[in-house]
Amino acid sequence: MKKRFMQFAAILLTVALSIPPSGAIRSNDEGQTMIRVGLASSSSHNALGETASAHLQNNTGYGEGFRFGYYDSKLNFIELARTSPDITAIAVLKTQNLYYGHDSALGKTTYSDGITSNIAVGCYHVQLPDSYDTYESAAEAASQSNGFVAWIDGAYQVRVGAYVNRDEAVSTQEALGLGTIVGTSSYGMSVVKTGTNQVLFQFDCGADQALGVLPDVTGAEDVRTWFSDYKYRGGFTYQRVSGGNLTVVNVLELDDYVKGVICYEMGRTWPLEALKTQAICARSYALRRLNTHNSLGFDLCNSDSCQVYRGAGTKRTDYGPSEVSDQAVEETAGEVLWYNGKLVDAVFSSSHGGASEDAKNIWGTDTVNDAPYLQGVIDPYEQDVDDRNPYSPWTVTYTADQLIQRLRSYGFGANTSVDHLELTYSKMGNVIEAKVCFTNGKSKTITSRSRPGIRSVFGLNSIRFTVNGQTVTPGTKTETEPSDGYAVNQSDTLDSLEDSYTISGDGAVAPMKDDLYVLDGNGKAVVLEPTSSGSTSNGSNEGGGKVTVSGSSYVFNGRGWGHSVGMSQFGANAMARRGFTYDQICAFYYPGTTLDLYQ
């Protein structure tokens, strides 16, 4: 009867763990929206790769002890076992022969394949007869035989020893007078007390099932745990995705994740309204991208390929979440951006240099039907904080010889030289195409969408730049000309200023008058005048066009850093300093969107 019960339990566990997380927003039974963040994996987007062992340590004062189990399809933690509060540091190991000591290749003391000490955790065990209905009954049997509890294919077992060879396991089996010699599958994991070969728990439930660890057994409210020199809230999963080393994932509530993003994506002491805007973007971005890395067992990576996430910080008191950054998350709790009933793709970059770019020109996004909120906007605010922005302005200089050598490193221009460059500017004044014309009559066209793109090939921080100071001249436009009138974000026009209004930095609304000024792409204040077909404003590159550049050297003068789509983080900083609120900043960078709760 006992074994039939356990077989049924195993089936239930397999079903629970094999259900893939829904692509929709998921909430656990407590109503918390949960997210999985990859901390160590085979993905190139994680700086820390798969690892033979992974260490956790309680953050003193923020909980003690550990619970072991798994997360179900709604990311509820299902407890299978726990330690006493005095166990403050553990390591999760792949179930192969590992030794604890200083690994010179890794530059740290850990469990690894090399023989670094006589502290070994082996892969051979003696398994006692029978299985158990509860952890308590299994733990009692384990204590009587100096063994440990294992959860194998949905059943509690008791195993003794962790030997590096079979002969040692046989000796123990003969001394006990019972049991069988066992190992684990290539997906098995052991949890040990750090620095010892004392196995606390073992887990082996196949390829698609992950061990869950939830720090604290005391009921502490704000639990934080050390992993790889950073503190993290929430729990963790460990999985041998390919049957080799471990993938490590942080599982936590969405807003705890957002708190671990915005202080790294922006400065931790930036203006509150800027940080609130970043919280909106980070939350929207995360929810839209659930399951991005699902094949590796998580939603988002922890690098800037997704969003920079470093948890609750390090031992430094000036790094990580601050009182104001946490306040920004709490005061926008549950708020995200929507467009036509769908979550907005709230992308952002450090700075645009004066204008964002149409996502169509960067990623091929349909910004007419799907995401019109990702069309470019002229940004007159960002330059307010140029003294705080190390990437505005910037200069990159090449001699003609240096430029051809750089191009050849990308496979372009072998056995020839650069004759000239032909740059195509978008209507926002950003370079969206660079045609390199060689002296042998051939050419190579590099665009803002190609891989590698303009920024990579020329080693630039952004696509907002001039070369050798040359700008578009009147009559060279390549895009559709605006009709006569006043240009609005270079995509619409007003026939007149009648019945039009401005919003000041303090939110005051007033009718537009004829004596208005605007900032051009070079940051110069000029009188607002109607546009006419075939003209560009003040010799800048706004409005689009082509420029041909040649010479013995090529000086790239630019502003901004990043992909140039969506929100400018330094622009948000500047707007907040002018008195704009986070909803106004969102509306400026993502026009046509609305703020609302995600639940």
Mean pLDDT of 127-148: 95
Of 396, 467, 481, which is closest to residue 431 (Cα–Cα)?
Answer: 467
Mean pLDDT of 54-59: 97
Interval 275-313: pLDDT, tens: 999 999 999 999 999 999 999 999 999 999 999 999 999
Task: State both tokens at 81.
Answer: 């076992």
- What is the residue whose two structure tokens read 């004392």? 198
The band of 99, judged by pLDDT with boundaries at 50, 70 and 90, is: very high
Rounded CA gap, 573 and 95, in Å?
49
The band of 524, judged by pLDDT with boundaries at 50, 70 and 90, is: very low
Do 139 and 149 contact (CB within 8 A), yes or no?
yes
Interval 553-576: pLDDT, tens: 999 999 999 999 999 999 999 999
The band of 208, judged by pLDDT with boundaries at 50, 70 and 90, is: confident
Mean pLDDT of 11-29: 53
Amino acid code (one letter) for 131: S
Instruction: Say what the pLDDT of residue 26 is.
Output: 83
Angle at Cα 156 formed by Cα 150 and Cα 160, nearest 5°? 40
Q: Mean pLDDT check: name the lowest of 40-44, 98-102, 154-158, 507-511.
A: 507-511
Grouping H, G, I as helix, E, B as strand and the rest as coil, residue 40 is strand
The band of 544, judged by pLDDT with boundaries at 50, 70 and 90, is: confident
- What is the residue whose two structure tokens read 């082509």? 546
Which position has the higher pLDDT, 475 or 585? 585
Grouping H, G, I as helix, E, B as strand and the rest as coil, residue 510 is strand
Mean pLDDT of 394-400: 98
